[in-house]
Every structure is written in structure tokens, then in C-alpha cells.
Structure 1
Amino acid sequence: MLIIRINLNLALIRSSFATGPRQSDGTLYEFRTYFLKPSKMNEFLENFKKNVHLRTAHSELVGYWSIEFGGRMNRVFHIWKYDNFAHRTAVHEALFLIPNLALIDKQESEITYLVPWCKIGKPPKEGVYELATFQMKPGGPALWGDAFKRAVNAHVDLGYSKLVGVFHTEYGALNRVHVLWWNESADSRAAGRHLSHEDPRVVAAVRESVNYLETQQNMLLIPTSFSPLK
């Protein structure tokens, strides 16, 4: 009887973060970062803007941003949605070549799933975005999923920032979670962050999640003129 209860509890922990809709529909999100050659940002974005309709004919573009703060400059970050891995393979076989290839120094890619308890949010107006990346301890969502969810929801429920999406990496660094936030401006984001750090309800939720945290980093993202998410 005790063994059955333990197994049921583990199943509930897993289902809250890593199972459910993700396995049922197969939808995945590719995170791509291009490291551009110095002084080539404007040329790169203009070229892509002219051709973006050819690319989005094959799969949905969730958002496209330049990276303002958070590491190396001259980078663009974009998220693409695919129905499944077969869809992604078909898209990449049909991709076109554009002059931008000569402007890229290197690129990085991760395959992620949107966690089952989160849907892509639509910001009310144009603003700035923050991508917070959390490297969690080995063990997966069965170990830290519920605590992480409570930490995210504490910020959301108290209105300190608007959540756009929470993504769990499938291919890339394992035990990594990306949280995409929207704010009206960099200043409103800073003000909300300072207030949340003084809120005991947020502090308590974050303290629990931090027990499973190894590292974290963030980037301030500015949406491009052709980004669906503004």
C-alpha cells in the first residue's frame, strides 16, 4: 500500500511539469541564437525582414529579438514552433539560402517543450522581453518541477511581470528551463523586480526553488519590427 502511494505521488509530480499535452500533440519550440559579425546587425535584420515571409510559409515564428543586455553583443534570438520533429526536418530540407549566411559568425540551437501548465501569453502592447534561463540540479522535473512552478506563479499571481512562456529543454543542456517574461519597459521591469524581492510571498517561493538551482542567467530582448511578439 505504501509503495502504491509513493508511486502515485511521483506520477503527480511528473505530470505537473513534464507530461500531458507535450507528449500528446508533439509540438516543440526551437530556440535559435545567431552570433553576428561586428557592425552587421542592421544589414542582417534588413535582409531577414525582406525574406521573412518565405521562412514563415513553412513554420510559425513565435518571436524575433535582438539581445540588448546579457552577454555578448551582436546577437539575435528567435523562437520557431513546429508540429513535431518530422515537421522540423521537412522545413529545414525546404529552407532557402539568403545573403545573411555570410553575416553569421556562429549559431546555437535548443529544442524545447512548452510546459503543460503554461500557454504562450500575448502581451497587451509593445514592450521589452526578458529571457531568464535556469540550470537546475540533475534529477529532472520529478525533483524540482513543483517548486519551480510555484516560484514562477508567485511572480505572475502578484502581478510583478507578465509571463509569456515557460520552456523545458529537450535537446541542449538538460535540466534547463527558460522563462520568457514581458514588461512595458526596462525601467518597469527593474521596478517590479525590486518590489518582488521585498515581497515575503515571492521570497518564500523562490527560496524553495533555489534549493534545486545550479546557475541562472538572463537577457534583455528587444523585439524586431517583424517579430510577432512585440
Structure 2
Amino acid sequence: MIQLRGIFRNVARHAEQCLSVKSRPTPRASISTGPRQQHATFYEFRTYYIQPHLNAAFLKLTSEKIHLRTAHSELVGYWSVEYGGLNQVFHIWKYDSYAQRASVRAALAQDPNWIEQYISKAMPMLSSQDNEVTYLVPWSKIQKPPKDGGVLELTTYQMKPGGPAVWGKAFQIAVGTRTGSGYAHAVGVFHSEFGQLNQVHVLWWYESADQRAAIRHKSHEDARVVAAVRESAAYLVSQKNKLLFPCAFSPIK
């Protein structure tokens, strides 16, 4: 009898514990990787690799016929690569949605002027093409340079996996320290959506390549910049850059 009472007490205690656990609120795990995109706008990065002996001809043809392309969607900028890659052009196109991009591509495929006057002539001049879909990071917007006639540097940072929740704050501080100290003008800061993931691109503007060199030398001696870069570099895998010269028809120069 005593043993039976002990068993009943244990059963009752176990049931009470189960009810207590069920009554507790279920914790919610956060799966957000940082500030999220609040709108559908994205930017397509396109890089064309030109056959070396046709580089000048390609740029001339594009300058003459780019209006056929911009009639369909917005061009943000178009540049030739001067350092960091030869015989390349880099351009950025803005779209309000993936549906809009699909409709633009369909319209271009049916545009006889675009096909006959440009595509049929330009494509044989290329050795390859590459593209990437990017979003502006939530704390950045497109800011045109203070004046025309400069050069732009596209710096690409390959960050550790995990997204902005891991490296976003440190990266924002690093960029903000450079811009806030007057060392550079950030045209835009973008993160990759399709292409190589965990990439962040910063498009910097300088008055000239020589001014960039002088500013870089000076900023490397600034304790504020050094501290911010050191913190951000803890999340960095690799980086690369290109110096870009704007084409005459580029909206951003």
C-alpha cells in the first residue's frame, strides 16, 4: 500500500510539471539576419568583358546607341574600368521589381532598333558578360557626386557568412567614419542578393586618381579610421577594387 501511494504521488508530480511546462509561453527564435529590405527596388550590376582589339569600337557604338537602351529602363551609371581589370565596362541599372525587369527584357527582345543597331554589332565584340542583383543597404541611398569629372572606385568586400546581423553594424561604422571625416564620398553601398553572397559593394567618388591616393595615405594615419577598419576587418574574408572612369553618357560621373 505504501508503495502504491508513492507511485501515485510521483505520477501526480509528473503531471503537474507537464502542465506547468505547457502553460509557459513558447520562446521565439529570431531568424532575422539584420535590417530587411523595405521596398522592391534593386540594382543590377553588369560587367562586360570586351575583346581587347575592339574596346574602342565597343565604347563608340555604345555611346551612339545607348539611348535605345535607356528608353526602356533607368541607367544609374556606365563606366570603363581603368585599373583593376582591363577591357571591361561596368554599369548599373535600376528596377522597381523583378516583374519590371522581366518586362523590360521582353520588350528589348522585340525592339528591332535595339537588336539591329546595337545588339547584333555589340555582342560579337564581347568575350563574356556577368551580372549581379544587389540592394542598397538600409542605411544608404544613391548620392550623386558633388561635381562631375571625377573617378569612381568600386570596392567589393567579401564578408563572413551570416549577413548584416553578424557584420552589418561594424561595416556601417567603418563606412560612416570615412565619409563623416571627409575622406571620401560614398555614391552608394550595396549588398548582394543574386551572385556571390555576403558581398558588400561600396561605390566611392574622388576628384581624381591622385586625390584618392593622397586621401588614402592620410586616412591610414587617422586613429578613428584605423579603429573602425580594424573592427570591420574581423568579419572580412577578402576584398578587391576597380577604378572606374565615367563614360560621357553616364548619369553619374
| TM-score greater than 0.5 by the shorter chain | yes
- Greater mean deviation of Cα atoms: 41-50 or 73-82: 41-50
Distance 1:162 1:120 in 2: 11
Q: Matched residues in 1 for 2:156 and 2:238: separation?
A: 8
Residue identity in the other structure for 2:160: K
SS of residue matched to 1:40: helix
Identity of aligned residues (%): 57
Q: Please say if 1:63 is aligned against 2:77.
A: yes
1:168-215 Cα shifts (integer Å, max 9, x gaps): 000000000000000000010011111111100011111010000000
Aligned partner letter, 2:226: V
Matched, 1:178 2:201: yes
Moved over 6 A (4+): 3-6
Q: 2:72 & 2:39 partners in 1: Cα distance? A: 18
The CA deviation at 1:51 is: 1.4
Higher gyration radius (CA): 2
Among 30, 44, 47, which residue is 1:33 paired with? 47
Aligned positions of 1:110-189 closer than 5 A: 110-125=132-147, 126-189=149-212
Which TM-score applies when normalising by structure 2? 0.83
What is the CA–CA distance in structure 2 between the aligned matches of 1:70 and 1:62, rounded to whole Å? 21
Q: Give the C-alpha shift of residue 4 in structure 1.
A: 7.8
Aligned length: 218
- Encode CA deviations 1:147-183: one digit per residue, 9 max, x unaligned: 0000000100000011100000000000000000000
Alpha-carbon separation, structure 2, partners of 1:81 and 1:105: 25
> What's the offset of the Cα at 1:25?
2.4
The separation in 1 between residues aligned to 2:189 and 2:142, in whole angstroms, is 8
Partner of 1:108: 130
Structure 1 CA distance for aligned equivalents of residues 133 and 197 of structure 2? 11
Higher alpha-carbon deviation: 37-46 or 58-67: 37-46
Where does the alignment leave 5 or more consecutive residues of structure 2 unmatched? 1-25, 109-113
1:25-64 Cα offsets, whole Å, 9 max, x none, are 2000000000000121111111111211111111110000
CA RMSD, Structure 1 to Structure 2 (Å): 1.7
**5+ residue gaps in structure 1?**
none
Could you tell me how far apart the structure 1 residues matched to 2:219 and 2:176 are? 12
* Inter-partner Cα distance in structure 1 for 2:47 and 2:29: 41
What is the CA distance between 1:226 and its match in structure 2? 0.6
